[in-house]
Amino acid sequence: MKRLSAKELEEHAARLRAMLVLLSGDIDRLEEEAIGERGIQIDASGEGGTDSYSQEFSLELIQRDESTMREVLEALDRVKNGSYGFCEGCQAPIGKERLKHMPHARNCIACQRKEEEGLA
């Protein structure tokens, strides 16, 4: 498989930067929701069962967004140092289709599967 061209690299970098903007907006919104719900919960003193459930849900989404954001930032670092598009596990080029769907992917599908199965 060929290396990514400068143009392709720039396209991926642009998408990664756009993802960062979206993610940070999302986190801000979720944080506001979580804080707002906490306020309600204090007023309801003890009867905030569903509130605390949805607050937990917001916090879970924040955590997921934050970890995606970290991966996006790491991918942008790799764009800078020239290792973008190569698998962290086996150093093989990551498939272009995979990068199109997931520009912050840090490993190839085979290594990702191994990781998910807990074998890596």
Task: Decide if 37 contacts 54 (C-beta within 8 A).
Answer: yes
120 binds Zn ion (CB under 5 A): no
Among 87, 99, 103, 106, binds Zn ion (CB under 5 A): 87
Q: Which of residues 36-55 bind Zn ion (CB under 5 A)?
A: none
94 binds Zn ion (CB under 5 A): no
89 binds Zn ion (CB under 5 A): yes
90 binds Zn ion (CB under 5 A): yes
- From first CA to last CA, the distance across the chain in angstroms is 24
Kindly provide the b/e burial profile for residues 29-57, where b requires at least 16 CB atoms within 10 angstroms of the residue's own CB: ebeebbeebeeebeeeeeebeebeeebee
Q: Which of residues 97-116 bind Zn ion (CB under 5 A)?
A: 107-108, 111
